[in-house]
Structure 1
Amino acid sequence: MKHPVDVHVGKRIRHRRWTLGTTQQQLADKVGIKFQQIQKYETGANRVSASRLWDIAGALGVPVSFFFEGMDGQARPELAGGPAMPDDILSDREALELLRSYYAIPEAQRRRLFDLARVLSDAA
């Protein structure tokens, strides 16, 4: 049976990989493993060892702690009184494509868009 932490870490790996526009094969090449192993990590079918997670974090340009963000109740907006987010937001391709498009916008315009979104969400 899959452990929830392994599934969460796998989703975070997939999320970061998609955000960067990196394929499983490209990530596997950087880490020195087969892409099938990346598939297994991303689904939570296989646990990621500490040393492998360290390598994956380096290849994806994030600290190891990135993969555990959202594991405690403090990081979940619905528990902090904010809007509820689907549990599988990291596996939603549309959300990740939106994120990638957002970061493709020049910084000054991106800041204005962010401010607009914040105002609209407060008004709702």
Structure 2
Amino acid sequence: MGKTDRPEKGHRRGRSHIRGGRGTVTAVKTEAPTPASPRPDGPEGRRSHPDPVDVYVGRRLRKQRVLLRLSQEQLARAVGVTFQQIQKYERGANRISASRLFDIAKVLGVPISFFFDHIDDDIAGRADAHIPGVAEPTPPPLDGAPSMPSEQLDLIAAYWRLPSDDIRRKALALLRSMAGLKDKKGEPLPDAE
């Protein structure tokens, strides 16, 4: 086949074999160009590895589910999926649609924004997306924490259910004052800002 028989770059090429009187003739047919993928995905549009944002959202989902002492099966039944699907969401292997995230947020008693709170721009791969004054301090991770008594887990769950950061700061200040927490100099700890 000569250079002129080749399809243009980006076109698919298929082969048809036509039997003629003096042997087999190979005809080349071309199809429309395939659109360029906006993301560097693997074969057939599948992602070769989870997006960092999907992993982050999955971790937030898992932490809240564990905090509320829900099994994957219980959460799955409540939102109408299989527990395997919840596992995939928690690993970031599958993306959570907006409507499914809405349902999950309702079951877990958190706003949808909970799943994106405190996301680091570097994790999201969008270092230029930072908006000054919008970032909040990241809560301490629960992974690897020593096992906590039921009351402590209930307290943490209640804290994160408070409707705003301002109310959470005030609740923390109240608890600190009730506990009489003091710094190394014997001064009361300052309110969380």
TM-score by length of 1: 0.69
Aligned pairs, how many?
109
Q: State the Cα distance separating 1:71 from its structure 2 match.
A: 1.3
Uncovered stretches (5+) of structure 2, i.e. residues with no partner: 1-48, 122-134, 158-171
The Cα shift of 1:119 comes to 3.6
Whether 1:31 aligns to 2:79 is: yes
* Counterpart in the other structure of 2:51: 3
1:94 and 2:148 correspond: no
Q: Which has the higher contact order (CA 8 A, sep 6+)?
A: 1
Letter of the structure 2 residue corresponding to residue 66 of structure 1: F
Residue ranges of structure 1 left out of the alignment (5+ in a row): 78-84, 105-109
Name the structure where strand makes up a greater proportion of residues: 2
Greater C-alpha radius of gyration: 2
Tell me the distance in 1 between the aligned counterparts of 2:93 and 2:86: 10
Q: Which has the higher helix share?
A: 1
Most deviating of 51-60 and 112-121: 112-121
The CA deviation string for residues 22-62 of structure 1, in whole angstroms up to 9 with x for no partner, is 11000000001100000000011111010100010011111
Tell me, in whole angstroms, the C-alpha distance in 2 between the residues paired with 1:95 and 1:112: 25
Structure 2 length as normaliser, TM-score?
A: 0.47
Provide the identity percentage: 47
1:32-51 alignment runs, 5 A limit: 32-51=80-99
Contact 1:15–1:96 (CA under 8 A) maintained in structure 2: no
Indicate the residue corresponding to 1:18 in structure 2: 66
Question: Do residues 67 (structure 1) and 128 (structure 2) align?
Answer: no
* Alignment RMSD: 3.4
Q: CA deviation at 1:114?
A: 3.9
